[in-house]
Amino acid sequence: MTETPTPSLSAAAAKRLSSWLGHLGVSPMAFDDTVGLLNPLLRVHQLQARVVDKLTETPTASTLVLQVGGAFPALKAGQYLMVGITIQGVRHRRAYSPRRLADRPDCIAITVQRQPGGLVSNHINEVLSVGDVIDIEPPAGDFVLPTPVPPAVLLIAGGSGITPCMAMLGELRQHAPATRVTLLYFARSQRDRILAQALTELTQRWTSFTYVPLDSTVHTPASPEDGRTPPILNPQATSTRTLDETLLHDTVPSWTSAATYCCGPAPLMDAARRIWADAGVSRHLHLEAFAAPTPSGDPDARHHVTLHRAGESREFDAAGNLTLLVAGEQAGFQIKHGCRQGICHECTCRLHRGSVQDLGSGQRIDGEGQPIRLCVSTALSDLDLESLN
């Protein structure tokens, strides 16, 4: 692991210095750029991290160990952070779920699963190297354990959805080791199971932890070209166990009362949502989606969209099966955006007229000036929008 000492200017002192220089007209960004020349980890406004280790987890997933500076805020297990990566001169932001490392208090780790055709996940796996510096933002999100920690916690992960669960396991092991914790972890195969070794080791050291690895493609979206094990080629070799009441009764008899955290592909989370609703215990279920749901509207519907920004108007037609962001881009417009996942709010517009569907909540929003996010909204009628960014 590359060791890079951070010069000894504390984050609090750097913030005070930046504030003082602000009175003399030095902007926060100019301050960061200047101290960043000494060491990027000294920045206090636009944070950066240095890749100090890169580990191959599976044929399609890597872990980055990132050294962070003193200004990096407290991280709650299960939260995400936005990572900014510049590819061919264009900066892209994506969310990843970091975990603290018990033996490296100045570092966090993120594990990135390649997505077929995915821009940033493939760049991170193929190109990003030890010594590179990347932009990071403060952690955010409410997919976190409650305080106090309940006596029983059930974690359900599918594929790369293990990452926030792994952060929670680290937290529980360190601060609430008596909690009864069960992890149901679906992956296409043992070969595709990220962090498998670390999980096996954890079971050996932590008696109140039950680890249930499940090789299953039942909840897996098909993606044969991404290097992962293709969906069921040999049904004899692949368990078809699925998340259902029988599995829950077999593995976690008290599942209806456990605080449950589920993160994985949409079909897995849909199954969880239905099972917990049928049992009348949806209040115990917390879900984290890594990708916005795919729009399912009418591909033949055409809605006329007028988007006002900075005194200019752009007009385009949006099909019912495209997000407004994609529809605008396909019409040739550059539309301000960040994460494309409904998180960063950089694509937020005010909806003055018309109706949209929010893909995250499934709700219909009728235009009365409400903010909507173009990356997770589809048109249900002609629209009049005003960009807020």
**β-pair type (302-309, 383-387):** parallel
Q: Which does 121 bind (CB under 5 to 8 A by kind): ligand FAD, ligand FES, none?
A: ligand FAD
Q: Which of 161, 169, 162 is nearest to 145 (CA)?
A: 169
Buried b (16+ CB within 10 A) or exposed e, 235-266: eeebeebbbeeebbeeebeebbebbbbbbbbb
The SS3 assignment for 15 reads helix
Q: Which does 77 bind (CB under 5 to 8 A by kind): ligand FES, ligand FAD, none?
A: none
Q: Which residue, 120, 129, 177, 133, is CA-closest to 153?
A: 177
Nearest 10 degrees: Cα torsion 139, 145, 146, 148: -110
Task: Give the whole-angstrom CA distance, residue 366 versus residue 383.
Answer: 10
Name the token pair of 260. 């449950």
Which window, 170-178, 185-193, 283-291, 323-331, contacts ligand FAD (CB under 6 A)? 283-291
In this chain, which of 50, 75, 337, 378 binds ligand FES, going by CB under 6 A?
A: 337
Buried b (16+ CB within 10 A) or exposed e, 334-358: ebebbbbbbbbebbbbbbeebebbb
> Of the ranges 13-21, 64-72, 110-118, 297-305, which one interacts with ligand FAD (CB under 6 A)?
110-118
Asked if residue 62 binds ligand FAD (CB under 6 A), the reply is: no
Task: State which of residues 117, 345, 371, 389 lies at the interface with ligand FES (CB under 6 A).
Answer: 345
**Residue 364 binding ligand FES, by CB under 6 A:** no
Candidates 90-98, 100-108, 183-191, 304-312: pick the segment binding ligand FAD (CB under 6 A): 90-98
The option from ligand FAD, ligand FES, none interacting with 338 (CB < 5 to 8 A, set by class) reads: ligand FES
Q: Please report, for residues 5, 24, 44, 65, 304, the alpha-carbon distance to residue 28 in angstroms, rounded to integers and kept in the order given.
A: 24, 11, 8, 27, 41
Show the binding pattern over residues 126-165: x = contacts ligand FAD (CB under 6 A), - = does not: ---------------x------------------x--x--
User: Position 314: which residue type?
Assistant: R
Does position 94 interact with ligand FAD (CB under 6 A)? The reply is yes
Q: Which positions from 208 through 237 interact with ligand FAD, judged by CB under 6 A? A: none
The option from ligand FAD, ligand FES, none interacting with 337 (CB < 5 to 8 A, set by class) reads: ligand FES
Q: Is residue 338 near ligand FES by the rule CB under 6 A?
A: yes
Amino acid, res. 379 = A
Site string for ligand FAD, 288-317 (x = CB under 6 A): x-xx--------------------------
Q: Which stretch binds ligand FAD (CB under 6 A): 131-139, 272-280, 285-293, 326-334?
A: 285-293
Angle at 284 between CA 279 and CA 94, to 5 degrees: 120
DSSP 367: -
User: Contact positions toward ligand FAD, by CB under 6 A?
Assistant: 80, 94-97, 110-113, 115, 117-122, 141, 160, 163, 288, 290-291, 340-341, 343
